[in-house]
Amino acid sequence: MKHKDWVIIGLLVLGWVIFLGQPTPVSARLRNFLTRVTTPLVKVGDWIPTVRSRRQLAQQNDDLRTEVNILRQRERTNRETARENRRLERLLEMKRRLGFPTLAARVIGRDASNWWKSIQIDRGEQDGVRENMAVVSADGLVGKTIAVSRGEARVLLLLDPDCKVSALLEESREPGVAQGVTAQTRCEMLYVNRAAKIKPGEAVLTSGLGGIFPKGIHIGSVLEAGLDPQSGMYQRIHLEPAADFRRLEEVLVILRAE
């Protein structure tokens, strides 16, 4: 190449440098165009550091799977804890409403028999639990303690025919006895005045008589009422229990009802 050619190339380059360095509309458009063209190539460049061997990827995949499983398990635990918190909050609310000394207990077992209705709780004599103490859930009355050992107690459920509770209709103030029905998962109220006017949905509460169950605990609500076919002297009321006996997990034992 001759000396003259170098001078021409130098002038051209200098011209281009001066031209591109100026913020003119033409140079700006050119810059944008080139940017659009080169950006995908820049992105391809991003892949370069992540290229690894298949073995490394497989290892990473395994690690991530393990981590995902751990996180899923943790999430399940967190959800369960959140649910438990909600249940305990409701139980705490019940504890405040009751105003008696109470003891929270977990349900650790159900009745081994199909004929009796009871649950086992994880609190016993060493925690201050004694026989014939009322047990409630966040929704209402559950039953009473019947057999207490050192660290556990058995609670006879309201659904058992042997669990009899002195009860009161909330609005009509008619008294009666609430108890379970043989071989069924519902309860009824007996010995209610045959002249009483009872509305479906009316709440049934403990009357406080008998000394075991404090007054005012929600037992259930009236499903239907009719004349007792056996005696014909009283009304028999079918009740919808307030507590959900299939889903009992935590309960409160009322330590002293006075």
Partner 1 sequence: MMRTFFAILLVTAGAALQAALPVFAWLGGIRPEVLPALVAYFALSLKRPAAVVALAALAGLMHDSLSAAPFGVTVATFGAAAQVLWWLRDWLERGLPWVQLVAGAFVSLVTGIVALTLIGVTAVAVVKLVWLALLNAVVAVVVFFALDYGRMQMGWDA
Q: Please, which residue, 152 or 174, has the CB nearer to partner 1?
A: 152
User: Total residues at the site for partner 1 (CB under 8 A)?
Assistant: 24
Nearer to partner 1, 103 or 146 (CB): 146
CB of 77 to partner 1, least distance (A): 22
SS3 label, residue 59:
helix
Bridge partners, residue 140, by sequence: none
- How near is the Cβ of 173 to partner 1 at its closest, in Å? 29
Site string for partner 1, 121-160 (x = CB under 8 A): -------------------------xx------x-x---x
Q: In Å, what is the CA distance from 99 to each residue of 143, 214, 257?
A: 18, 10, 9
CA 147, CA 219: separation in Å to the nearest integer? 22
Spatial distance between the Cα atoms of 237 and 198, rounded to a whole number of angstroms: 9
**Residue with tokens 């509770």, as numbered in its chain:** 165
230 binds partner 1, rule: CB under 8 A: no
By CB under 8 A, tell whether 111 contacts partner 1: yes
Residue 254: name the closest of 103, 99, 88 by CA: 103
Question: Beta-carbon neighbour count of residue 151 at 10 Å?
Answer: 14
Q: Does 110 bind partner 1 (CB under 8 A)?
A: yes
Residue number, 181 or 196, with CB nearest to partner 1? 181
- By rule CB under 8 A, what string of x and - marks binding of each residue 168-197 to partner 1? -------------xxxxx------------
How, if at all, do strands 134-136 and 165-169 pair?
unpaired
Among 162, 171, 224, 244, binds partner 1 (CB under 8 A): 162
**How far does the chain reach from its first CA to its final CA, in angstroms?**
115
- List the one residue from 113, 195, 201, 230 that touches partner 1 (CB under 8 A): 113
Chain centroid to CA 51: 45
Question: Binding residues for partner 1, per CB under 8 A?
Answer: 109-118, 120, 146-147, 154, 156, 160-162, 181-185, 246
